[in-house]
A and B are shown apart, each in its own frame.
Chain A
Amino acid sequence: MNRKAQFDVARKTIFWMIAGFLIAIIILAFTFTIADYRSKLTYVPPQMKAEFITLRFANIPQCFAYRDEVTGRVYSSTIDLAKFTRERLFSCYHTDPKEGYQDYNFRLVLKKTNKEIFTNNYFNKDDFTQFKQVLVKDGDTFTEDTLYIYVQEYISKPEANLLQ
């Protein structure tokens, strides 16, 4: 093989190495673009998910909604202050003790009444806040109040740091 032929072989090898690398990158980029597009198609805003979960707090008697014991009628958006306890919240919404920090967790605050409770895996990482206008029943009196729901969307797994 003369020198020119040797140079040709080397040049082609380099060309195909670069071309192969670029082709691999293009195919990978295309795959990632499709995966990204797929995740955009299935995206649901976390605020909406949280809104649906938090409906229960002020609407059902198993959580904090006031139920007239005589008539059995449930008053939506009316919070019975006697029920507004941490134990009640645990029975209303309870996440897995081990992995529940990856679920939605909440801190509920009645502003005027100045009462605060939170779920079992809430660690003061507020991602966003929701507000609900409610009536608070304290004994025989009803007062207007605002229920602040601080939402902790997700806490990632504590991996490397804790393992060291």
Chain B
Amino acid sequence: MVRNRMMNKKGESVILMIGELLAVIAVIFMTMQIATRFAKSDAVVKLNVVQDMNMMVNVLVGEPGDAVVAYPTDVSSFSMILTNNKITVITKGESEFKNAVESFNLPEGFVAQGVVEEKAKVCLEKKKEVITLRECNKDES
């Protein structure tokens, strides 16, 4: 009887230890998953690109002459759409909710337009009152 009770206690402590180990492994796995998802995600880059583009549009609006600005880094993992009141940066295959969007206000008579799909070098060009998003020419990058 005494021996049986001792075995039960020993068995219980082993099960408890396994349970604790599993819990610790689960916690480590979950935190690793969160960290890995963050590291692999290009959400931060996408947000930075859309904010940069928005500021570039505002700078071009404030420029009295014509100008071309090339985005300095490779943005081939994104597609971009420029319209009269916003710029949208999209990652192919991701849901619409994950698009990065920034809005701006153009003066009357100004037009902003352009679509670029996964091009490494992207340029914003201002000609008179038209701002165009396009792939850079070879001599512009």
Question: Which residues does A use to contact B, with CB under 8 Å?
Answer: 8, 12, 19, 23, 26-27, 30-31, 34, 38, 41-42, 44, 48-49, 52-56, 59-63, 65, 74, 76, 91-95, 103
Contact A60 B62 (CB under 8 A): yes
Question: Given A27-B31, A60-B107 in contact, is the A34-B44 Cβ separation under 8 Å?
Answer: no
Q: Which of B51-59, B91-99, B113-121 contacts A (4 or more CB under 8 A)?
A: B51-59
**In the complex the two chains form, what is the Cα distance from A76 to B23 in whole Å?**
66
What is the interface size of chain B, counting residues whose CB is below 8 A from a CB of the partner? Answer: 30
Does residue B48 face the partner (Cβ distance < 8 Å to A)? yes
Residue of A with least CB distance to B65: A74
Contacts of A42 in B (CB 8 A): 44, 47-48, 51
Question: Given A12-B16, A30-B34 in contact, is the A49-B55 Cβ separation under 8 Å?
Answer: yes
Does residue B12 face the partner (Cβ distance < 8 Å to A)? yes
Q: List 21 A-B contacts (CB under 8 A).
A: A27-B27, A30-B35, A52-B58, A52-B62, A54-B62, A55-B58, A59-B62, A60-B62, A60-B64, A60-B107, A62-B110, A63-B107, A65-B64, A74-B64, A74-B65, A76-B64, A91-B107, A92-B108, A93-B105, A94-B105, A103-B103
Count of A-B residue pairs with CB < 8 Å: 81
